[in-house]
Amino acid sequence: RMTKKILLDICKQQKLYWTPYLNDTLYLHYKGFDRLENLEEYTGLKCLWLQCNGLRKIENLEAQTELRCLYLQLNLIEKIENLEPLQKLDSLNISNNYIRTIENLSCLKVLQTLQMAHNKLRTVEDIQHLQECPSICVLDLSHNNLSDPSIVAILETMPNLHVLNLMGNEVIKRIANYRKTLTVRLKQLTYLDDRPVFPKDRACAEAWAAGGLEAEKAEREKWETRERKKIQDSIDALAAIRQRAKEERRQKCMEGVATDTQEGFSLQLTIDYSVDLPGQEADTDKGMLPEREEYADIEQLKLETLETLSLEELPDLEDVVVSEFAPEEEIFVQKQDYHPKIEIISEVTNDSNSALEENNKSMPESSVEEVSTGIFSNVCQNHKQHEKEHLIPLLKSFTEPDNSERYLEIKEKEVAPVKPLIQEIITEPKDHLLLSPVCHQPDDPREEDGKITV
């Protein structure tokens, strides 16, 4: 029996609300109930599952005014009744019962789905009540005992019928051109039995009804031609898209080549502009510095050369070892095609001063200018504008050593003349021997005839 305690236990097992009116779904299938009862407290139900029980009658559903779906299939019901309180019922499934007549459904104004498969329907009178149910959209009458072709007239009066299933009935064999006939007569039908009713099927069926097989054949050829044209148009559109994409890629490639060529030309111009020829005067380079600020964007390009000049590679004057007997040393800086000559001259003795004057006279001014020009050109190629400004004093120190503070500081520290502890004075004795200044004393009584006795 469907008692309140059993219903509460079912709610607990299914993890539903223990308070009856809070439940909107109640699963009572496969319980073996033979009667509907004690559902008065379940007023909030919207879906009630009662299939696979032993119910013989539809009753005691007055409190379920919010019910939308009622599933009563696989029971022992013989009559459709007591559904008046269910004004919001949308779907009713009473398949696999013992119902012989469709009745008492006109009160369900919003009923859209009616499933009555595997029942005992036979004649047109058994389904005549469907004329009073205009809201039904889905009707399943399969596997009944319907055999009278006049049932089509009843179905024809249903304005919203979209889905119809008559499979398993004798009437299918008794209606000539069954599918075409129902397609023509049921104007809203979109699904018949086991497959849809496509617009092409409807057009061909209507042509058949109007002009026979020849008209149906002509209509079918029109539809096939139209479909082939649609497919061909799709293929052409796809080909056009591919061709357009190919042309765009080709155009982008051409623009890329043109851009690379233009960039290469600009790079060449930048290199030609930034590299000065040897022999140019340093004053000219210094005068060009303000003008080159206009080309800051161009000079920001990273120029790749075989060798780059950095400040660390420049010779440091502090590291130069000056010898007393080697007053002059030549340091060669080889960068690219330029070979500047840097000469370090130290003033050790009076003789070195004369050598310095002679070297300054003999060394051409162009060599000094070549040193500054070559180094300054390499710096222009590999450093930005702010680095050029820092290199100008360094270059001036190479070209004008007398006016350079750093050079004077080095000369004071390292090039200062060394005062020996013992100074030798070389003289020419009579017998042309190199005598020690200590032993060469004229008043020494041990000196006899130019000989020295120790």
H-helix or E-strand containing 331? strand 328-332
Q: In a 3-state reduction of DSSP, which class is residue 448?
A: strand
Q: What is the pLDDT of residue 91?
A: 96
Q: What is the pLDDT of residue 331?
A: 43
Q: In a 3-state reduction of DSSP, which class is residue 93?
A: strand
Q: What is the pLDDT of residue 392?
A: 62
Q: How many CB atoms lie within 10 A of CB 172?
A: 16
Q: How many CB atoms lie within 10 A of CB 292?
A: 16
pLDDT tens for the 454 residues of the chain, in order: 899 999 999 999 999 999 999 999 999 999 999 999 999 999 999 999 999 999 999 999 999 999 999 999 999 999 999 999 999 999 999 999 999 999 999 999 999 999 999 999 999 999 999 999 999 999 999 999 999 999 999 999 999 999 999 999 999 999 999 999 999 999 999 999 989 999 999 999 999 999 889 999 999 999 999 999 999 999 999 999 999 999 999 988 888 777 766 666 555 555 444 444 444 444 444 444 444 444 444 444 444 444 445 555 555 555 544 444 444 444 444 444 444 444 444 444 444 444 444 444 445 444 444 444 444 444 445 545 655 565 565 555 555 444 445 545 555 555 445 555 554 454 444 444 444 444 444 444 444 444 444 3
Residue 328 bridge partners (DSSP): 345
Domain coordinates of the chain in residue numbers? 4-200, 201-251
What is the CATH number that goes with domain 4-200?
3.80.10.10
Q: What is the pLDDT of residue 41?
A: 93
d(CA 258, CA 250) in angstroms, rounded, equals: 12
Q: What is the pLDDT of residue 326?
A: 42
Q: How many CB atoms lie within 10 A of CB 131?
A: 14
- For residue 125, give every residue at least 6 positions away whose Cβ sits within 8 Å of its Cβ, in sequence order, or none: 101
Tokens representing 336? 């690219």
Task: Taking the CA atoms of 429, 431, 432 and 437 in sequence, report the sign of the dihedral they define.
Answer: negative
DSSP-assigned states of every residue in 334-367: -BTTB--EEEEE---SHHHHHHHHHHHHHS-HHH
The whole-model pTM stands at 0.55
d(CA 401, CA 393) in angstroms, rounded, equals: 11
